[in-house]
Amino acid sequence: MKKILFAIAFATTAFIQTKAVSLGVLTAESGNRAVEQANCWAFGAVSYTSTPAQLITGSWSMRSNSPTSLLPSACWVKSPWIKVAAGNVTMKIKFEASTAATIRRVIVSYIPYDANNLPYKEGALVRFDSISYSVPLPTTSQSLSFPIPSSIVSNSAVYKIQISFVGTGGTTRFNMDDISIPAEYWSDPSNSCLPLALIVDADSDGVADADDAYPNDATRAYNNYYPAAGFGTLMFEDLWPATGDYDFNDLVVDYRYNLVTNASNKVVEMKSKFVTRAIGASLHNGFAFQINGLAPAKITATTGAKYHAASWLDNAANGTENGQTSANIIVFDDAQKVLPSSGGSGTNTIPANPRVAPDTTSLDITFTNVSGQMIGLSDVVFNPYIIVDQTRGKEVHLPDFVPSTKANTALFGTGNDDTKPGSNKYYKTANNLPWALNVTTSIPYMIEKEDFLTGYLKFADWAQSNGGSYTDWYINNPGYRNAAKLFVP
């Protein structure tokens, strides 16, 4: 928010100020103090006057009572809560008589915010300037200027400015007009004129620290998790294009990723976690994902992938796979080496065999920060797949997800596969059964050699309806699961 000249100049109707804007100069031209009080100005023994002899400028000016004390609490005008800018408090004054007084003084003070001092939360008054007059007093307009202390300028704190009109001896009153304070209005008339919520933005990225997940990093601001509530589950069959035993436990990986965006909601980083839970296969499968339609050059670096010198690995310096139209990231090249069996066939799929603790791969991707080339959230389309038994061209994707450039498309339409690229149908049988599943919550997987349809009883209805029926097939509702077929962690 810009620093602006704060002041007041209203018509005769009341106006409630609800946000920080310029209000002009305090001229009293509204003719009604209630207008200014509604906007959080305050007055102590100061009234408005339209008497010609008492005017300084315009049709209205302000007039003090006869001061009887040198204390700043005698007669005063107090600003709303403000954020103070550099400059001077300026105003005009004159006196109604030149001799009916001993001393007259203008004192300018600031009041800090004190949350513990109820009800107005005003701290102790701090004087910072003054000017004194003795007889003969000037009865013509005098322009005054008081420099604002640098200690209260342009910081995150809020203050009030109080101008006091004090004196002893006689009855001569002050007339004043055109009060101006360089500041940003920060009062809330709808909340007893208390300060608006203070916005703290440590990294100056335009996002308040309270809303900024990275308050000290101007290149990052928001976390965008998927799935939002926790981990999802990916399950694969690796005998594609044959259906095989259809237990969907050849590779079971839980996943969650966080797309970190900046203040403009452009993606700067993708933080992913992949938890390999089970391998119900003897094949040495790799695991990867494609970001559909994203040029590999949009990625600047990748860290955290797990490689074991697979002969088919061919990555660029930024961690993306060479020879791909869209960015492809190999998360690990051999699941068997990421989650090796502790004995027996497979890992964590046969209840009688020893269990192995799941393995977590933490993968971090940074994206280009070049102006005009940064990507939005909709540009990240996550397309996970496996690479079957170290054969690079043999990819198994989620149903209707496109293969990568390196996929062997000659396998389409063979075995039980009914892929029809012209109809945007990929990795499905003629009955729409897939070889890979994505569920946006973590769910149990099948015991080895148990058909998936016997564990998840509504899955066939969902698949054969092409996703139209039983969209919640994976939820543990009555009649949806046969727990005896599911592997218990």
As a whole number of angstroms, the distance between CA 426 and CA 399 comes to: 6
44: domain CATH number?
A: 2.60.120.260
* Statement: residue 178 has pLDDT above 70: yes
Residue 432 maps to a domain: yes
Residue-level pLDDT at 20: 37
CA gap 229, 353 in Å, rounded = 32
Which among 144, 167, 195 is the end of a domain? 195
Q: Examine the pLDDT at 158 and tell me if it is beyond 80.
A: yes
Read off the pLDDT of each residue in 334-353 and give the average, rounded to a whole number: 91
Q: Which run of H or E residues covers position 463?
A: helix 459-464
Whether residue 222 sits in one domain with residue 188: no
The three state secondary structure string of 100-123 is: CEEEEEEEEEEEEECCCCCCCCEC
High-pLDDT (> 70) share of the chain, %: 95
Domain boundary among 171, 195, 219: 195
Q: What is the mean pLDDT of residues 325-349?
A: 93
Lowest mean pLDDT across 21-35, 353-367, 444-458: 21-35
Model confidence at 488, pLDDT cuts 50, 70, 90, reads confident
What's the confidence (pLDDT) of residue 10?
26
* Model pLDDT, residue 96: 96
The predicted-structure confidence for 42-55, as pLDDT tens digits, reads as follows 999 999 999 999 99
Do residue 35 and residue 182 come from a single domain? yes
The reported pLDDT for the residue numbered 432 is 92
Which pLDDT band holds residue 11 (cuts at 50, 70, 90)? Answer: very low
The pLDDT-based confidence of 6 (bands split at 50, 70, 90) is very low
Average pLDDT, the chain: 92
| Whether residue 176 sits in one domain with residue 256 | no
What's the pLDDT score for residue 204?
87
pLDDT at 126 over 70: yes
Quick one: which of 203, 220, 215 has its CA closest to 374? 220
Q: 206 falls in which pLDDT band (50, 70, 90)? A: confident
Asked if residue 264 is part of any domain, the answer here is yes
Cis amide bond preceding 227, omega within 30: yes
As a whole number, mean pLDDT of residues 341-365 equals 92
The verdict on 283 and 390 lying in the same domain is yes
**Residues 408-432: what's their mean pLDDT?**
97
How many CB atoms lie under 10 A from the CB of residue 169?
15
Whether residue 41 is found in the same domain as residue 183: yes
The last residue of a domain, from among 135, 162, 195: 195
For 467, residues 6+ apart whose C-beta sits below 8 A from its C-beta are none
Measured CA to CA in angstroms, residue 441 lies from 145, 227, 228, 233, 363 at distances of: 66, 7, 10, 6, 20
Say yes or no: 60 and 155 in one domain: yes
Share of the chain above pLDDT 90, in %: 85
| pTM (predicted TM-score) | 0.69
State how far the alpha carbon of 30 is from the alpha carbons of 8, 48, 57, 139, 376, in Å: 9, 9, 13, 24, 50
Instruction: Give the model's pLDDT for residue 1.
Output: 32
pLDDT of residue 5: 38
DSSP classification of residue 299: E
Q: Can you tell me the mean pLDDT for 108-131?
A: 95
User: What local confidence, expressed as pLDDT, does residue 444 receive?
Assistant: 97
Q: State the DSSP code for 26.
A: B
CA distance 277 to 254: 7
Q: How high is the pLDDT of residue 199?
A: 73
Least confident residue range of 46-55, 166-175, 201-210: 201-210
Q: How confident is the model at residue 208 (pLDDT cuts 50, 70, 90)?
A: confident
Beta-bridge partner residues of 49: 61
* Together in a domain, 148 and 292: no
Q: What mean pLDDT comes out for the span 445-455? A: 95
Query: Do residues 224 and 318 share a domain?
Result: yes
pLDDT band of residue 201 (cuts 50, 70, 90) is confident
**Which pLDDT does position 19 carry in this prediction?**
36
> Can you give the pLDDT at residue 256?
98
The total number of structural domains in the chain stands at 2
Task: Give the C-alpha separation, 387 to 434, whole Å.
Answer: 16
CA atoms of 204 and 153, how far apart (whole Å):
17
In a domain, residue 260? The reply is: yes
Same domain, 150 and 276: no
Q: Is 187 found in the same domain as 222? A: no
Q: What is the pLDDT of residue 155?
A: 78
Q: Which residue has the tokens 């109820």?
A: 118
- pLDDT at res. 245: 87
- Both 64 and 144 in a single domain? yes
Of the pLDDT bands very low, low, confident and very high (cuts 50, 70, 90), residue 179 is: very high
Determine the pLDDT at residue 314.
98
Residue range of the domain that includes 174: 5-195
Which residue carries 């993306």 as its tokens? 320
Do 182 and 218 belong together in one domain? no
203, part of any domain: no
Q: Is the pLDDT of residue 18 over 50?
A: no
Q: Cα separation of 221 and 211, whole Å?
A: 8
CA dihedral sign, ordered 305, 388, 245, 236: positive
Question: Which pLDDT value is given to residue 210?
Answer: 86
The reply to whether 473 falls in a domain is yes
> Does the pLDDT at position 207 exceed 50?
yes
d(CA 479, CA 458): 8
pLDDT above 60 (res 143): yes
User: What was the pLDDT predicted at 12?
Assistant: 24
Q: Are 367 and 271 in contact (CB under 8 A)?
A: no
